[in-house]
Amino acid sequence: MKRLFLFLLLLSFIIASNVYAQDVFPKKKPTASAGKAIYDKQCGFCHGASGDGKGNAAASLNPKPTDFTDHSQMRLKSPAELYNITRKGKGAMSAFTNMKDEDLWNVIFFTVSFSSTKDMAAKGKEVYFRDCAFCHGKTGAGDGPGGASLPLKPRKFTDLKWMAEQKDGSLYQNMAMGIPTSDIACAAKLKLEERWNVLSYIRAFTYSD
């Protein structure tokens, strides 16, 4: 009986967490500039004005604040994961339970912007229109003319929910390895730097500056 109770209790937590996760995705494009205003007031003191984790309070904190400019680490976290960490709190960071969803998403995508640069996005745009737009569409909506005949329809990079769930590392892996029955294998021909640049451009489909 005790085991059954513990199992049901655990199951209820899992169901609750899944329901919570389904409700947190952005309803509209987050705005990084609006997120910056909030970040400067509530986050920069620990994470630093430039997002490098070296704010004034960082020295006294353990664990240290996340360095949002560390590409190798940021590529391992999806925007949805960053949202949940910030909402619930983790390590030395308190939970932001009272912040509106829209405001929190704005902050999250401002922090996401730290791990990219305008130069990366500009170079990625060139690669995207050269090798990706024919299937994925000029606006990333998956409506390019080349996708009509494919057995697996091109991914919509404008799908805010799906994109929020994706780590940049996972998106990179899809491009590098290809997906069966799709034409994404063409991305495997791209150079390493080109893939990261085009990912920077693709990510920008999901938020405004």
For residues 98-102, give the mean pLDDT. Answer: 96
Rounded Cα gap, residues 69 and 50, in angstroms: 8
The pLDDT, as a whole number, for residue 10 is 44
Rounded Cα gap, residues 111 and 85, in angstroms: 13
Residue 117 has pLDDT above 70, yes or no: yes
Rounded Cα gap, residues 144 and 131, in angstroms: 12
For residues 80-108, give the mean pLDDT. Answer: 96
The pLDDT, as a whole number, for residue 7 is 43
The pLDDT, as a whole number, for residue 14 is 42
* Homologous superfamily of domain range 30-113: Cytochrome c-like domain (1.10.760.10)
118-206 has which CATH code? 1.10.760
What share of the chain has pLDDT > 90, as a percent? Answer: 73
The pLDDT, as a whole number, for residue 3 is 53
Residue 6 has pLDDT above 50, yes or no: no
Reported confidence tier of residue 184, pLDDT bands at 50, 70, 90: low
Rounded Cα gap, residues 21 and 43, in angstroms: 23
The pLDDT, as a whole number, for residue 5 is 41
The pLDDT, as a whole number, for residue 19 is 38
For residues 90-97, give the mean pLDDT. Answer: 94
Residue 127 has pLDDT above 50, yes or no: yes
Q: Output the average pLDDT for the chain.
A: 87
For residues 132-153, give the mean pLDDT. Answer: 92
The pLDDT, as a whole number, for residue 151 is 85
Structural domain boundaries of the chain? 30-113, 118-206
What share of the chain has pLDDT > 70, as a percent? Answer: 85
Residue 193 has pLDDT above 90, yes or no: yes
